[in-house]
Amino acid sequence: MRNIRVCLLLTLAALAGAAAVGAQQPAKASLILKTRMSLGGKQVKFSRKRFYLFRGGSDVNKALAERIKAAAYTSRDCFYCSQKASPEYMAWLQVADCESPYCREITADDTAKVPEFKAAYAKALTLYKNKPDLARTWLTTSMPPELRDGYYLQRKKATDGILSGVKPLATVMTDATSQQATFIDIFLTPGKESEKFFVSNVLPFESGGKAYTWICEVDVKPSSNILTLPPATASKSGSKCEVIAKDLPKCDSGGCKQ
């Protein structure tokens, strides 16, 4: 009888220990960031745009938020103006809100009309033994680096400077169809029913002659969460999202002017 009692106590203790361990396992959550909105009276689509997620609320990330607000920013058009890009190339980028020639297909018509593509295509033809389709597919490799990925590298350098060593928990780009970014596998601190996180695009997105930056605090609970970014006009409505909107400088072949 005594042995049975000992075995029973040991079993109960093991079950209690297992329950305690299970209770300490972090809950997992996800966050869907919706970016469809109206800016300046027009519906905008922010596809292929990057957002960052940081653990902690606005208080924890106060210094980061201040750096985001104070950061200097060079617009896409001003960058390409500084690189002496042709008006045709800049117009090609503007059509689909592209930041580089990699964002959409370069057609035969584009190759004929855009001087940078035409020159790169001619060079690629010699590299790929006069195979037109192959030369057009890989013509970006024959473009000057500054016009190919210079703007991307400049933005990356600016982002690294703003983050100043702060590591985001995750970074996700919006998709081209729904214009939403989905953060998955967000582990909450054990014992918390919800936890504050900080979300921002860090560097501005351009639309309608303005640059927009969102700085948001969001309470994340286990399972799925949704955060809909507000337009600039909603920044004072009690939302936990602050929207910074700045006018973009005017850029043409003569340079950039505020």
The string of pLDDT tens digits covering residues 164-203 is 999 999 999 999 888 899 999 999 999 888 999 999 999 9
Burial class (CB in 10 A: 0-12, 13-18, 19+), 13: exposed
Helix axes 87-95, 115-127, angle to 10 degrees: 90
Q: Per residue in 94-130, is it b (16+ CB within 10 Å) or e — as a string?
A: eeebebbbeeeebeeebbeebebbbebbeebbeebee
Residue with tokens 């020639």: 101
Q: Identify the pLDDT of residue 26.
A: 83
For the purposes of burial, counting CB atoms within 10 Å of the CB of 164, is it exposed (0-12), middle (13-18) or buried (19 or more)?
exposed
For tokens 């700085």, name the residue: 215
pLDDT bracket for residue 237 (50, 70, 90): very low
CATH code matching the domain that covers 26-73+163-257, chosen among 1.10.10.10, 3.40.50.620, 2.60.40.420, 2.60.40.10 = 2.60.40.10
* Residues in a beta bridge with 39: 42
- pTM for this prediction: 0.84
Sketch the domain layout of the chain as residue ranges.
26-73+163-257, 80-148
pLDDT in tens, 12-44: 445 455 444 445 678 999 999 999 888 877 888
